[in-house]
Chains A and B, each alone.
Chain A
Amino acid sequence: MQIVVLIKQVLDPEVPARAFRVNRELRVPDVPRAAQVMSIFDGNALETALKLREAVGSGVKITALSMGEKSAENVLRKALAVTADDAVLLADPAFAPLHSVQKARVLAAGIRKLGSVDLVLAGRQAADWEAGQVGPMVAEELGWPCVSFVSRIDRSGDSLHLRRELDNGYQIVRLSGPAIVTVTNADVNVLRFAKVRDVMMSARKPIITWNASALGLDPTDLGEPSVDLLDLFVPERPRHAEMIEGETARDRALGLARRLRELNAI
């Protein structure tokens, strides 16, 4: 069985609000000291793939696939370090300005080039722009079904059983053929820590890089964006909370209770 996990490198979502800046003219974030990390739901997707491989036992190959600049090799290294088998980077200057639909085309081309793929896992949305579009659009590009908000995958005979998280409950979905599955967070799919031994073993593994022409794509004909970003800004920060003072926790608790009463909040 071949599983592909789509991984995006993003600006660290843990950057606190007070440190976050934006270049409004260029409509991009401006946090030069921030780390670039694996998008968190992609980590959940990777863990889901790793657990499925463990459950199946043998014959499962996991390929981490990323689209980005050369620096995205960092997150692919992280995937290899937690024992993904292969890592592929889709990189081309023509890919930089692309929007969701176009990105989906490129990723789909990468998946087709890998060949014999049985399952593609992706985070439900990227931890930066949070559009949640690319996964389902890759499904459309490939002509495959898509199951979203899955938190775990179990093997059941020749099928897979996917637990799909709903707003107030869950569904179990049976999957018998290739599909795109978008993954949401749960206690069972928090990405594991890499073992030192695996980090060392994977460090030498080559990361395969494909550009537009390797993918059979014309870099000048990747399509037009379907959406315009007209403005990007940081809203005005609210004021600091009114802190309830008091010598002891009891004093502060009483003070809070009184203040809530005063404000008619209770």
Chain B
Amino acid sequence: MSDLLLAAPVRDGEVSRGSLDLLGGARALADQTGGKVTVAALGTAANQAATTLIAYGADTVLTCAEPALETAPGEAGVIALEAACRASEPGVVLLVADSYGRDWAPRLAWRIDAGLVTEVTGWSLASGRLTFSRQVFGGKAQAVLASRRPVAIATVKPGAAVACQPDPSRRGLVQELGVTIPLDPSWPQVIETASEAPTGPRLEDAKIIVSGGRGLGGPENFSYARDLAEVLGAAVGASRAAVDAGWVPATWQIGQTGKSVAPNLYVAVGISGASQHMVGCSRSKLIVAINTDQDAPIFEQARLGVVGDYREVLPRLTAALKELLQ
């Protein structure tokens, strides 16, 4: 049970920050179990990511740069991961809970008959048993689960683990996974990829976020949030309600099925505080809520609250902060 396998999607030789953080967690767990950490680096120019992965804690990197991973990432990725499991025989498989990991994990679990726990926020190894924690019921309850099979698979949310300090002198083994994945014509194929990189700071990295919800009433009113964000050097996010109303792009959504953020300051404007939203911002150091409804649930989650109409509060807050910050 002691060896770990981490799935790391690679694009043009680069792995995500999320993968490096999870690798830190894998390293810590392996140090407890006495096992080794293998990373399956899957995607274009995968071998270019190997040195980084070893510096960040991998003992072995299995690379696979099969073109099918680009065109049919779902189907090809699961095949590659199953091969990586055969090669490294892990007791635990870890994946970042992103569009790759969430896609691959259930299918891999089915194929290798592993016990799968998804959206994990933490884990604990006690008396030889590995247990995983996660939120359920829209963040309203906490569950603790363990695999009943010899192999456990977990998709892990951001914030559960932190990357090690990279050590370029670390030694490790780099091997090709050695699996050929011909593109099956019946597979769904990616014919277009569009990146919607934000112009300002990325939500996941932003130190300050101003977030708007249903209370803003319309897309044009996000300008109030943007004005405040500009003064604070903040990123702008939104609740699911604003996305479903078509006011803002889906990539702005913060919440259980949107982005998970951990800024120093999170200003929630016109957001009621539904638990599914709070799941996405609860790691914020300080949450401020501005809402017309004094009974809004968000006032039980925020540190500071103002009852009021954002149309009156925000411009004056923006002006006051502008002065204070000069």
Interface residues of A, Cβ cutoff 8 Å to B:
11, 13-18, 20, 22, 29, 41, 100-101, 104, 124-125, 127-137, 139-141, 145-149, 151, 161-162, 164-177, 179, 184-188, 190, 224-235, 237-244, 248-250, 252-261, 263, 265-266
Contact = CB atoms under 8 A, between A and B. Distances in A.
A241 B140 contact: no
29 contacts: A14-B274, A15-B140, A17-B139, A17-B278, A18-B300, A20-B275, A22-B141, A130-B119, A130-B256, A133-B105, A133-B116, A140-B106, A140-B110, A148-B99, A167-B98, A170-B196, A187-B243, A187-B244, A230-B131, A232-B142, A233-B141, A235-B141, A237-B300, A239-B300, A241-B304, A252-B313, A254-B320, A255-B306, A256-B304
A253 B143 contact: no
A37 to B, nearest CB: 13
Interface of B: 74-75, 98-99, 102-103, 105-107, 109-111, 113-119, 131, 135-149, 185-197, 202, 208, 232, 240, 243-246, 250-251, 256-257, 259, 264-265, 274-276, 278, 285-286, 288-289, 297-309, 312-314, 316-317, 320-321, 324-325
Contacts of B246: 187-188
B145 A13 contact: no
Contacts of A136: 103, 106-107, 110
A145 B188 contact: yes
B187 A17 contact: no
Contacts of B102: 124, 132, 148-149
Contacts of A242: 303-305
B300 A240 contact: yes
Q: Which 9 A-B pairs have the closest CB atoms?
A: A187-B246, A249-B312, A253-B316, A241-B305, A257-B320, A136-B106, A172-B192, A231-B144, A140-B110
Contacts of B191: 161, 172-174
B99 A166 contact: yes
Contacts of B116: 100, 131, 133, 226-227
B306 A253 contact: yes
What is the interface of chain A mostly: helix, strand, loop, or mixed?
A: mixed
Contacts of B312: 248-250, 253
A13 B117 CA distance: 21
Contacts of B251: 167-169
B306 A13 contact: no
A146 B103 contact: yes
Contacts, number: 275
Contacts of B144: 229-232
Given A168-B195, A168-B251, A237-B300, A146 B74 contact: yes
A263 to B, nearest CB: 7
A253 B195 contact: no
A254 B148 CA distance: 56
Contacts of B148: 224-228
A249 B43 CA distance: 53
B188 A20 contact: no
Nearest to B135: A130
A228 B137 contact: no
B144 to A, nearest CB: 4
Contacts of B187: 145
A172 to B, nearest CB: 4
Contact of A259 (B98, B136, B143, B304): B304
A249 B143 contact: no
A260 B304 contact: yes
Contact of A145 (B74, B131, B298, B321): B74
B316 A249 contact: yes
Given A169-B196, A243-B307, A257 B321 contact: yes
Contact of A244 (B304, B316, B325): B304
A146 B77 CA distance: 12
